[in-house]
Structure 1
Amino acid sequence: MTFDQLGLNEPLLQAIADMGFVTPSEIQEKAIPILLEEDRDMVALAQTGTGKTAAFGFPLLQKIDPTSKTTQGLIIAPTRELCLQITNEMKLYAKHVKGVRVVAVYGGANIQEQAREISKGAQIVVATPGRMQDMMRRRMVDITKLSFCVLDEADEMLNMGFYEDITTILADTPKEKLTWLFSATMPKEVSRIAKEFMTNPVEVTVGSKNEGAKNVSHEFYVVHTRDRYQALKRLADANPDIFSVIFCRTKRDTQKVAELLIEDGYNAAALHGDLSQNQRDLVMKSFRGRQIQMLVATDVAARGIDVDDITHVINYQLPDEIETYTHRSGRTGRAGKTGTSMVIVTKSEMRKIKQLEKILAKKFEHKEIPDGKEITQVQLFHLANKIHNTEVNHDIDAYLPAIEEVLEDVTKEELIKKVFSVEFTRFFNYYKKTKDLNQNATAAFKEESGETTRYFINVGRKDDFDWMKLKDFLKEKTGLGQDGIYRVDCKDSFSFFNTDTEHKEKVIALFEDFDLDGRRVSVEETQGGGGRDRNRGGGGDRKRGGGDRRSGGGFRSGDRSKRRSGGDSDRGDRRRNSGDRSASAGTTERRPRRNDADRPSYGSAEGGGERRRRSSSSEDRRPARSERSAPRSPRRSEEGATNSPFSGKRRRRS
């Protein structure tokens, strides 16, 4: 089927041709003819990225009277970003419809200016609930003559606690108007709105209710809680062309993870409810321009993201509601393209994966975190393909004789080795001493089930050991092999390691009378499977910033419409003249390297913000760098090296 078979008029078909649309999506094919031919309320269910805006936008533009300056159509959207996105799309659709004005009404912008735009004659107003209510109270907008009301992303609006706002707005609209409700999922709150404010609505469903996007594959990676951030970095390194949205639960975690990524050399920024509208716009402009490869966002702030070709969605922390996961994964795999949704979980969260599989009818593939060898190989082949596909700039021809003279004694094989050794050495040196995160997760699971024993040994870095040398020494001494010794944590004058509990007696016996270069070496079992670590100053099991501090319970249910979101309410349309907030997105601009003590706070009024404040609670306190089990920044290996596998490679000036 083509668009001209849907019953659209010539001005709209001309706009469709200008935009290059050829075939309508399934939701457009089902919804548009009904909305054009019948004066009925509608509930339409379709995944994010399936073209819902056009599905209600084209019929709305065809049915309004462009010769009248009365506000005839109201579109309500949950966030400022989505409000602006819909407005821009509606203007494109109305390109050849003379006399149509579409005005966006949202928080964070001048309300008087928005009122003036409406007074000039806006047939269609696109609004966020809070700002719309504000304008109604001030009598700046008249919606008593509405013919059409569209609730876009209805499930998300209700999940954000906008139920009362929506009902207040709908109560001021004419009863005879048509209401079109578009949603990705159908929780009971959406059904409640349909029952209370709609008359015999026709229901159009693409796929099944609450179904995940068809073009998205789902993967999960099981890690120890403290390794969550390291896992995130490895997933990014194993996908050199990654263009992703990373989801955290709270604004605090979002800001923290973004700052860590920036410090470690990635093109990253934060997007959350504490940013001013100007800061949001700057971050999104950089993301759309691909100056930012990894956008760390809260669920609410990400609702307005409509960016093409997002390759990955990474769930740094799982959300509390299944519907929220559906919205997250819908950020990728849009417009017929494929995408990947990755989930980083701990063992205690595995039940959530099972719930997601059951309700979404999607299989989640369990994968292991890539190790250094895999990442190095991927990066080398990425470089090879990049060189192979690079278009030759013939302006270089004038310099070739001098270059060839310099390289005349180098063979083809040697030249290839030298070129690729730059990239190989960078990643090899960083990853050669990093730990196996998959083994850490297995060890954590064994600890929970009592299948592992942790030991204290009185040798450390002062005895010329690092964790790898110590592990090799213990493997040779005990004969337990590669996987028999794990979670080796090497300190200055002592260390810790784990074995399966079944080997405990053997390990203790081997070190009862053991000397190393004339020094007595003793091994003891720690108390409480790791409690001795903290008593001796190890701190090996402390949680990193941004880790999962919640229990591993299942997804929440219940009436979310009455609950105001506390983690990131993001009700920007309620914050009038708020100005720049303190916590902001990190900037991708390169900064000169300084000592830590001299390093300035991150960001500015245009995408920066205060350096994160550290919590005094033990739950959120990050260990000192000397205590970390793996180098936090690629710029610093465990031996203190300053070479980074990402230095000068990933970062671009924004």
Structure 2
Amino acid sequence: MNFSDLTLPESLLRALEDKGYKSPTDIQEKAIPLLLEKDTDFVGQAQTGTGKTAAFSLPLLAKIDSKSGDVQAIVLSPTRELANQITEEMKSFCKYEKIKILSVYGGVPLDGQIRTLKKGRPQVVVGTPGRVLDLIKRGVLKLENAKLAVLDEADEMLDMGFIDDVKTILSELGDKKKTWMYSATMPKAILSLIKSYLNEPEVIKIEKKTLSNEDIEQKYFLIKRGNLGEAVCRILDSLTDYYGIVFCRTKIDAKKLSDEFNYRGFPSDALHGDMSQTQRDLTMRAFKKKKVKLLVCTDVAARGIDVDNLTHVINYGLPQDLESYVHRIGRTGRAGQKGCAYTVIDSSEKFRIRMLERLMNTKIELGTLPSIDEIKKALVKNEVSKLEFVAEKLESSENLDSSFSIFKESLEEMEKEALLKVMFNYMFKKNMDRYSQKSSIELSKGSERGDRNSRNNSDRRERPERSGRGRGDNGYARFYVGVGKKHGVDLKEFLSSVSGATGVAERDIRRVDLKDQFSFFEVSEKYKEKVLLVAKVSAAGHTGTLEPTKSGPSTSRRDSRGGGPRRSSNGNRKSFRTSGKERSQRSFRNS
């Protein structure tokens, strides 16, 4: 079936054709004709990523009287991001219709939304329950003439505590209103809402066969404890191209991973609960425009994100709620395109993979990380392809600076082999050195005991580089800087500021650990005296002292953590033994 087979107005069909939409999804094919033909309450149960927005937007827009200045429909969404996306989607469908659509949500000033409501006179309002209810109470959003209410992601609104607001908003609509509800699941509270507020609704349920999308390649990687971040970086280094989301359990992990990705050369942004709405909007705009190709976020922060053409979804550990895994990976492999869903875990989560396979009724393959040699080859090929692209653009351009002739003359006497070695060293030394010091971080297939043993028996080079843990390695010096996150400093600015103050190249500054009020970094011993000449570093408008840490690089990990023998006040040696509880807490912090 094609959209042209549905009884949609010609203007909407033209807009769909412009967007390249040809065949409706299951929920669209079943819901759109029903909602166009019948004036009825409706319940649609379908998973995220199945095209629910178009399934309710198209019949809704077909019922709007564009000549009326009243609000004729209200669409409620659990998150600001989803409200914005629904609005954008609806506006794209209205390309050949004069229907005014307004998005309202919290986190931004009320005044602008109030002015738009009064002057713009929208026919459709899309919003989050809290802001919609606030505007109703202020008397600026009037719904007595609205004939249609849509509840999108109703189960999410329930989970986020909006259900009472939803009930109040529904009571503001006239007696002749119709309510359309879309939800991925049907918990008791949602069933109660249907019974109380919907009148003999038509029900369409799309079976869960969409959960295990055949277009998504699912793999998991069994990694030695403490190396999950390194595993994700190795996967990214081996890819020729990617545009994806990395999911974490906590906002701390999201921030940490984003910093690590940027440091390793993968442009990324974190999306988390501490960000203002303006920051969230800027982050999403940059991601949608592919200015950054990697978004790192938690499940809560990702609610409402609906981005097409994602090639990869990577799970940094499994979510607490296994059904969230289904929602996560459903963001790739859409519209017939192929997608990849990769999950990195340690042995403690292996049993949950089996639970997940039973939940989804599918097999998740145990993958093998690319070898060091494979990663190095991929790094070279990727960079060479970028050079070729730049070279093609330069051939058709005459904007090269005149000083190029000086550069060319200076290198003419250098042999080709020598020049290539210089270029290779300049472009790849940092990554090649990093991987030369690394070995396997994977557990042998089926091994769980190996994860525990590896913490004691593996070569120290296999340990993850934990920023700020210990006091450096032999050959490196560690420094303190009195600027941190609360001064508005991020990793990129910190590296730039330290490099500018000390003259040490950013690529030679390692193990950066950004704290709230201060930070640490390490440099090779050969740069130590150079850094010691600098007393202060300025970053983000704040100046902090720069000084070496008291414990030098030769300090052992045991002594630096305070776990070794110490002297009592009378000078005798005494041993501090940690309790089982303290050991478990330390183990948790280091995992």
TM-score (ref. length: structure 2): 0.73
Instruction: Provide Cα deviations, 1:574-601, integer angstroms capped at 9, x if missing partner.
Output: xxxxxxx9799958679525179999xx
Match of 2:440 among 427, 436, 443: 436
Q: C-alpha distance in 2, partners of 1:48/1:267?
A: 27
Structure 1 residues 590 and 55 mapped into 2: Cα distance closer, same or farther (>3 Å)? farther
| Root mean square deviation, CA, Å | 4.0
SS in 1 for 2:303: helix
Partner of 1:152: 152
Partner of 2:287: 287
Shift of 1:438: 0.7
Partner of 1:489: 460
CA contact (8 A) 1:269 1:587 kept: no
In the alignment, residue 394 of structure 1 is paired with which amino acid?
E
Partner of 2:46: 46
Partner of 1:342: 342
Instruction: Provide Cα deviations, 1:104-137, integer angstroms capped at 9, x if missing partner.
Output: 1100122232123223422111010111122223
Q: C-alpha distance in 2, partners of 1:591/1:211?
A: 43
Q: 1:258-337 maps to which residues of 2 (within 5 A)?
A: 258-337=258-337
Partner of 1:594: 498
SS in 2 for 1:231: helix
Instruction: Provide Cα deviations, 1:287-331, integer angstroms capped at 9, x if missing partner.
Output: 122222221112122223233322211111322223322221122
Q: C-alpha distance in 1, partners of 2:199/2:552?
A: 61
Partner of 1:114: 113
TM-score (ref. length: structure 1): 0.66
Q: 1:483-632 maps to which residues of 2 (within 5 A)?
A: 486-489=457-460, 591-592=495-496, 594=498, 611-612=515-516
Q: C-alpha distance in 2, partners of 1:158/1:407?
A: 70
Structure 1 residues 365 and 223 mapped into 2: Cα distance closer, same or farther (>3 Å)? same
Shift of 1:400: 9.9
Structure 1 residues 238 and 144 mapped into 2: Cα distance closer, same or farther (>3 Å)? same
Shift of 1:431: 0.6
Shift of 1:420: 5.7
Partner of 2:363: 363
Partner of 2:224: 224
Instruction: Provide Cα deviations, 1:517-566, integer angstroms capped at 9, x if missing partner.
Output: xxxxxxxxxxxxxxxxxxxx9999xxxxxxxxxxxxxxxxxxxxxxxxxx
Structure 1 residues 12 and 270 mapped into 2: Cα distance closer, same or farther (>3 Å)? same
Shift of 1:384: 4.6
CA contact (8 A) 2:471 2:557 kept: no
Shift of 1:158: 2.3
Partner of 2:535: none
CA contact (8 A) 1:184 1:327 kept: no
In the alignment, residue 431 of structure 1 is paired with which amino acid?
Y
In the alignment, residue 117 of structure 1 is paired with which amino acid?
T
Shift of 1:454: 8.0
SS in 1 for 2:141: coil
Structure 1 residues 330 and 584 mapped into 2: Cα distance closer, same or farther (>3 Å)? farther
Q: C-alpha distance in 2, partners of 1:85/1:244?
A: 18
Structure 1 residues 585 and 112 mapped into 2: Cα distance closer, same or farther (>3 Å)? farther
Say if 2:96 is the partner of 1:103: no
In the alignment, residue 460 of structure 2 is paired with which amino acid?
D
Shift of 1:102: 0.9
Larger RCO, structure (CA 8 Å, separation 6 or more)? 1
In the alignment, residue 55 of structure 1 is paired with which amino acid?
A
Instruction: Provide Cα deviations, 1:448-476, integer angstroms capped at 9, x if missing partner.
Output: 5xxx5987xxxxxxxxxxxxxxxxxxxxx
In the alignment, residue 496 of structure 2 is paired with which amino acid?
P
CA contact (8 A) 1:268 1:587 kept: no
Partner of 2:395: 394
SS in 1 for 2:15: helix
In the alignment, residue 441 of structure 2 is paired with which amino acid?
L
Partner of 1:73: 73
Count how many residue pairs are aligned between Structure 1 and Structure 2. Answer: 493
Q: Which sections of structure 1, spanning at least 5 residues, go unmatched?
A: 456-485, 491-495, 498-536, 541-580, 600-609, 615-622, 630-654
Instruction: Provide Cα deviations, 1:331-390, integer angstroms capped at 9, x if missing partner.
Output: 222232221112121211122211221112232111133332221122233345555666
Q: C-alpha distance in 2, partners of 1:593/1:311?
A: 35
Shift of 1:487: 1.0
SS in 1 for 2:354: helix
Instruction: Provide Cα deviations, 1:256-296, integer angstroms capped at 9, x if missing partner.
Output: 32233334443122111221111112212221222222211
Instruction: Provide Cα deviations, 1:145-189, integer angstroms capped at 9, x if missing partner.
Output: 321111112232223332232233223334542222223444555
Q: Which sections of structure 2, spanning at least 5 residues, go unmatched?
A: 464-469, 474-484, 504-513, 519-550, 559-591
Q: C-alpha distance in 1, partners of 2:55/2:302?
A: 22
In the alignment, residue 393 of structure 1 is paired with which amino acid?
L
Q: C-alpha distance in 1, partners of 2:84/2:123?
A: 16
SS in 2 for 1:315: strand
CA contact (8 A) 1:105 1:128 kept: yes
Q: C-alpha distance in 2, partners of 1:258/1:32?
A: 41
Q: C-alpha distance in 2, partners of 1:183/1:222?
A: 34
Structure 1 residues 78 and 447 mapped into 2: Cα distance closer, same or farther (>3 Å)? closer
Q: C-alpha distance in 2, partners of 1:130/1:154?
A: 14
Partner of 2:170: 170
Q: 1:456-475 maps to which residues of 2 (within 5 A)?
A: none
In the alignment, residue 116 of structure 1 is paired with which amino acid?
R
Shift of 1:255: 2.1
CA contact (8 A) 1:75 1:125 kept: yes
In the alignment, residue 487 of structure 1 is paired with which amino acid?
S
Structure 1 residues 382 and 190 mapped into 2: Cα distance closer, same or farther (>3 Å)? farther
SS in 1 for 2:460: strand
